[in-house]
Amino acid sequence: MTAITPPRATPAPELTTDRAATLRHYLMCPPTHFEVVYAINPWMDVDVPVDRGRAIVQWQALKAAYEAHGHRVDVVTAVPDLPDMVYAANGGVVVGGRALAARFVFPEREAEGAAYEAWFRESGARYGITSIGQAAEYDEGEGDLLLAGDVMLAGTGFRTTRAAHAEVAERLGVDVVTLELVDPRFYHLDTALTVLDGGGPGVAPTVAYLPEAFSAESQRVLRERYPDAILATLDDALVLGLNAVSDGRNVFLTDRATSLHARLRERGFVPVPIDLSELLKGGGSVKCCTLELRGTEAVA
């Protein structure tokens, strides 16, 4: 009889991956005035206290993580009485050095559009950003507008309108694919989908998304365009795991989305866990705090 030897525990292999990072240029806004005093999405509860000091420390750790990976981070000064300004992704969208500042749906955030536009005009100019002004249509910037390769994926249903998608296509000169969001918990596209790399000639970008956050028609569009996508679980999406930032190799995302971390590793990405528990109380995570300045001449 052959003795059965139990398998020996082997240490987890070091992650080896060919995925390459490209250096990025981000704009962030510190949570200097962050608080939850109104509720414009289901994550916000004015009765749950926010620890602003902790929010600031968490935000600084995110900024430091980007810088430790070689990315450039610029900072826009927070404006008093605009507690959501920390969610810089919503400030606009920048492609090829052309910026379109946001037009917010809720009056509570309206003044942020002009604040971000002012940054693009004043500070963006030195990086070759040509501000092309503020959107005429309701448009919440990179909250709903995610560039995947050369296509702009554009969310609608809660904030950014279809008319805004047409405006983005025209003013930024990009092809836009409209995706309809159907679950109010995933009110911005960047809460339901993340772009992990830009793909290449004949190769679709890699994306991860939560199928049930989208209408049946949009699910069909996503399946067709991205047959190899990572399909996230509701648990991962409910800690805003999809609200992530990828440089093509490293994926900065909440430490809470553990099953998504595992899926990313399987596909050769390197998860960089970030604790943003205070910012989650406003309905945002890593991506919400990060606006990518694309096509700038980043000056060291």
Q: Which spans in the chain are helix H?
A: 52-68, 110-122, 162-172, 216-225, 234-237, 258-266, 277-280
Nearer to ligand ARG, 27 or 204 (CB): 27
Site for ligand ARG in 112-171 (CB under 6 A): 143
Q: Which is nearer to ligand ARG, 181 or 204 (CB)?
A: 181
Tokens of 133: 């002004």
Backbone φ and ψ for 226, nearest 5 degrees, come out as: -130, 70
Q: In 3D, which of 10, 1, 20, 8 has the Cα closest to residue 250?
A: 20
Per rule CB under 6 A, is residue 34 in the interface with ligand ARG?
no
84 binds ligand ARG (CB under 6 A): yes
Given 25, 65, 82, 90, the residue binding ligand ARG (CB under 6 A): 90
For residue 120, give the nearest of 83, 157, 93 by alpha carbon. 93
Nearer to ligand ARG, 139 or 204 (CB): 139
Q: Taking CB under 6 A as the rule, does residue 92 contact ligand ARG? A: no
Q: Cα–Cα distance between 114 and 111 in angstroms, integer?
A: 6
Q: Least distance (Å) from ligand ARG to the CB of residue 13? A: 35
Least distance between ligand ARG and beta carbon 8 (Å): 46
> Strands, E, within 18-63: which ranges?
25-28
Distance, CA of 89 to CA of 170 (rounded, Å): 21
Give the catalytic positions in this structure.
Answer: 188, 288
Size of the site for ligand ARG (CB under 6 A): 16
Contact between 221 and 179 (Cβ < 8 Å)? yes
Site stretch for ligand ARG (CB under 6 A), options 2-10, 147-155, 184-192, 196-204 = 184-192
Per CB under 6 A, 290 contacts ligand ARG:
no
Which one of the spans 15-23, 121-129, 200-208, 283-291 is the region binding ligand ARG (CB under 6 A)?
A: 283-291
Q: What is the token pair recorded at 233?
A: 């679980």
Q: Decide: 70 and 24 in contact? Cβ < 8 Å.
A: no
Kindly state whether residue 283 participates in binding ligand ARG, applying the rule CB under 6 A.
yes
Give the sheet arrangement for strand 98-101, strand by strand.
92-95, 98-101, 130-134
Provide the token pair at 83. 């507690």
103 binds ligand ARG (CB under 6 A): no
Among 191, 246, 250, 296, the residue binding ligand ARG under the rule CB under 6 A is 191
Footprint on this chain of ligand ARG (rule: CB under 6 A): 40-41, 44, 84, 87, 89-90, 109, 143, 188, 190-191, 282-284, 288
